[in-house]
């Protein structure tokens, strides 16, 4: 029988620690990561966080399914289970997550709140059925506003618009 993926619960904010200890024991682990903005004490920086907070995945062969050792690893709570049944995670699920990784191994997700826009991307501003303007997306401003550059009077003018009014051009 081939290797299968299994989900493992970790202690709160101990995903990296659990992954490190699983790797030391020779297990093949996968901790999908996303890059998020962290705001603290007037400082903003980008940090890596698990895609699934409190979980990681182990790729196990049948002889590696020692659930006691897996559950007693530092940083771990134990494998996801239903009674005595330890459900495997479909390979396709892991493949789909890995397909979203960039060259650094970080998951690139686009949420509707972010509007699917990248800095420098051409966007259309649609405020009504007939009103249509174009601009260049710069960045988000808060949850529901975006800064764009619009060509006006032979120069680019920064303008803040609702993200809901933006579409790809």
DSSP code at position 120: T
Domains of the chain, start order: 4-107 (3.30.70.940), 112-168 (2.30.30.30)
C-alpha neighbours within 13 Å on the C-beta side of residue 59? 11
Q: How far is C-alpha 25 from the geometric centre of its chain's CA atoms?
A: 27
Contact in structure between 1 and 62 (CB atoms under 8 Å): yes
Distance CA 23, CA 143 (A): 38
Collapsed DSSP state (helix, strand, coil) of residue 113: helix
Q: Is the pLDDT of residue 25 over 90?
A: yes
Distance CA 162, CA 49 (A): 28
What is the pTM (predicted TM-score) of this model? 0.64
Q: How far is C-alpha 30 from the geometric centre of its chain's CA atoms?
A: 14
Bigger pLDDT: 108 or 5?
5
Helices (H), 25-143: 67-71, 91-99
Distance CA 86, CA 43 (A): 43
Q: Is the pLDDT of residue 165 over 90?
A: no
pLDDT digits (tens, 9 = 90+) for 121-134: 888 877 655 456 78
Q: Name the band, by pLDDT with cuts 50, 70 and 90, for residue 77.
A: very high
Q: Is the pLDDT of residue 136 over 80?
A: yes
């Amino acid at each position: 029988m081939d290797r299968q993926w299994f989900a493992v619960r970790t202690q709160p904010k101990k995903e990296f620690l659990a992954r490190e200890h699983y790797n030391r024991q020779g297990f093949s682990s996968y901790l999908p990561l996303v890059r998020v903005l962290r705001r603290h004490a007037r400082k903003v920086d980008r940090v890596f966080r698990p895609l699934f907070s409190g979980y990681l995945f182990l790729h196990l062969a049948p002889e590696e399914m020692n659930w006691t050792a897996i559950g007693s690893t530092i940083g771990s709570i134990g494998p996801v289970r239903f009674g005595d049944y330890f459900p495997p995670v479909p390979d396709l699920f892991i493949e789909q997550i890995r397909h979203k990784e960039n060259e650094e191994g970080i998951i690139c997700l686009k949420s509707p709140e972010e509007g699917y826009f990248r800095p420098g991307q051409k966007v259309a501003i649609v405020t009504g059925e007939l009103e249509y303007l174009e601009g260049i997306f710069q960045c988000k401003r808060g949850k529901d506003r975006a800064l764009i550059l619009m060509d006006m009077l032979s120069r680019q003018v920064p303008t803040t618009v609702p993200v809901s009014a933006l579409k790809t051009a």
